[in-house]
Structure 1
Amino acid sequence: MTIFDSHTHINDPAFTTDLPDVIKRAHAWGVKKMLVLAGDGASFGRLQQLWQLDNNIYGAAGCHPEDAVRFNTTELDELAQKFKFPQMKALGEIGLDYHCSVEPKIQQEVFQQQLELARELNVPVSIHNRDAFEDTYRILKAAHVGDFGAIMHSFNGDTSWSKKFLDLGMNLSFSGVATFKNAVEVREAFLATPLDRILVETDAPYLAPVPYRGQQNEPGFTRLTVEYLADLRQLSVEKFAKQTYQNTLKILRI
């Protein structure tokens, strides 16, 4: 089995003590590649260390909306410089989070600046959206993200929103959230999404799938989400895993 975890944070300090074992378990569960996202200098430094451990680990970097207040032109230039490394495959996670305390206007400005950078660099973006569907969609549409590629990370909307984002040319990534009992609308959106536009992820150390919900997540658990989603589509696990793997290679241009 070949699985690609399209969004994970194993550069998080939560993995400091057992990182080699986490990677080993991921491979044992069929997770052959992963995209690790960095949000600041420290997490990017840990991402670089990961590249020394495993050449199947790829990178992304960007300013998370929760950190938008600290973002400035210097940070933007430093972000651009990170893409000199060949392992860097996406800009993110970026977007809007109206659950946090950062003023929406500031978030929107930083989001737009990073989308412009992604266009200049011609790299896909990984999008964070929490309680901000309308503005996220408006900004992504204006940026014509289909030109350079976009992933809606851990999609958590209904079918009306999935269709809108798909119409922009985006891919939708589904996490362990889809396995949660109350995520009925997410599952409906998943079933309505074309197979060639679906990615899978953990968002580790967060959002562990059932039966590990509430515990620390890790890339190996992508397999549990793959098994669950394959069953929903009435597909073999191997076929679904292979399709999502190929989809991820395509959007990240690997």
Structure 2
Amino acid sequence: MKKIIYISLVFSLMSCSTVNNENNFDTINESSKPQSTSHDLLLKKSNSLLGVNKKSLSNSLISTRSFYKEEDSLILDYKYPYLNEEYNPLFGSFNTFVEVNYLLNEQSIRDVLQNSDLSCDSLYENVERKRRNIDYKVYSKNDRLLSVLLYKTNYYDSEHHNSFMFKGLNYDLNQGRFIGYEDLFMNNSETILLFKLNQELEARIEGQDSFNDCWKLTKDKFELFKNNFVINSEYIKFYFDDCTVCPTYSGNYFLEIPLEELSLVLKTEDPETTYLRF
């Protein structure tokens, strides 16, 4: 009976949607610190690029937790998702992943200070890192699959310069495990996906001025980012860090393909295992 109630609850939460079916679940700030306003303009820019629009829904399946740390000249200011383990103890695997990979103080600081690849612009290889922000957006496809986009913004000592990095997390709410490209797509589908993504990029280059300086997505780059996607009811979106397919100044970081165009390469036949029921 408890399991039936849980499944019913998750389904009702996932079925709530905005007009475009990109859901941001109700956020509960469990800890916070007033933020300085020096980076507000850039933060608004990053939110605009990602289409972030926080919506309040009457649930607490996902809450927002905050992490803030100042050390010397570096500020770490994170907002990250937390799955309520009272609904399902298996959700601990999601929360542990976020904690281990993003919240360990010493490792986070080393990553920001020592990583020379935080910006693809060679002019900023030796500049001082001032701040790293992390925020997130939630997408939903059905009552089983949860997609979370983590986006990281790195700020530098040079005025108005920042760079963006992304991580797509796709999570099986029933089994409490992360899923990747191989769970959703058939074997040897990479060639078709790469073709589709470049086809979408070419269409945007022809139709939107901001894409004029973008370039073809190569096979090696696709292999690096093929697990970096999120899914809603209509599209799968592949996210790319700065300078992967477009220059930083263009503000273009993802390519999307309608799910119906991928029907031949998506695993949808087995109702017991498929994540993408049409």
Please classify the TM superposition score into its range, dividing by the shorter chain length: under 0.3
- Which structure would you say has the larger RCO, counting Cα contacts within 8 Å and 6 or more residues apart? 1
Q: Which has more helix, going by share of residues?
A: 1
Higher alpha-carbon Rg: 2
Q: Which has more strand, going by share of residues?
A: 2
